[in-house]
Amino acid sequence: MGSFFMGMVWLYFLANVIVDLLVLFGLITGISTSLLGLTVLSWGNSVGDAIASISISKSGFGEMAITGCVAGPVFNLLLGLGLTLLWAHTGAEDGIEFKVVDAQSRATFFIIVASICTLTVFVVLTVSNKYVVTVMHAKVLMALYTFTVVAAVYICT
């Protein structure tokens, strides 16, 4: 139990170092932190999941791979964002105000909306195709991701 706890502590400290390095990189280069989160941080966070999903899918467990791809972000949103908001609200009396006035805030808001829209499109396409995922689904999802990144770059600059 102690080893597990210490592993979690090390992961916490290393995650803070990575975020600090990304913020520093953003300050040096002038790149928006929202854009760095959308690209560098999310790519680095997802590489292990992508490799695992590809391996599981090649082993003939495609349904498990799809479930893992959807369940990981859902876990991050519900638990990660839930704990983050709980922690942030310990010091805030009236809640956290989210203003969409500058480029970085607009980009963050756009990424949230794009994620919701992408998940909705995936669900609608899958249900309308009688729960069979095809190459067309992959092409639509890749196109949506490309559009999201390009639009976020445009909004951030």
pLDDT in tens, the chain (157 residues): 899 999 989 988 988 898 888 889 988 988 877 788 888 888 887 888 889 889 999 999 988 988 888 888 888 888 888 888 888 777 777 777 777 777 777 877 888 888 889 889 989 999 999 988 899 999 999 999 899 888 888 887 7
Q: How many residues does the chain have?
A: 157
| Identity of the amino acid at 14 | L
pLDDT at 71: 85
Q: Residue 142's pLDDT is what?
A: 92
Please report, in angstroms and rounded to a whole number, the separation of the first and last CA atoms in the chain.
Answer: 47
pTM of the predicted structure, to 2 decimals: 0.71
Residue 49 has what pLDDT? 85
* Residue 56 pLDDT: 92
In single-letter form, the type of residue at position 128 comes to S
Going by C-alpha positions, the residue among 121, 123, 126 that lies closest to residue 148 is: 121
What pLDDT does residue 87 have?
82
The predicted structure's pLDDT at residue 76: 82
Give dist(CA 30, CA 33) in Å, integer. 9
pLDDT for 15 equals 84
pLDDT at 28: 92
Contact 152, 107 (CB under 8 A): yes
Alpha-carbon dihedral sign for residues 3, 77, 84, 153:
positive
The pLDDT value given to residue 7? 92
pLDDT at 90: 79
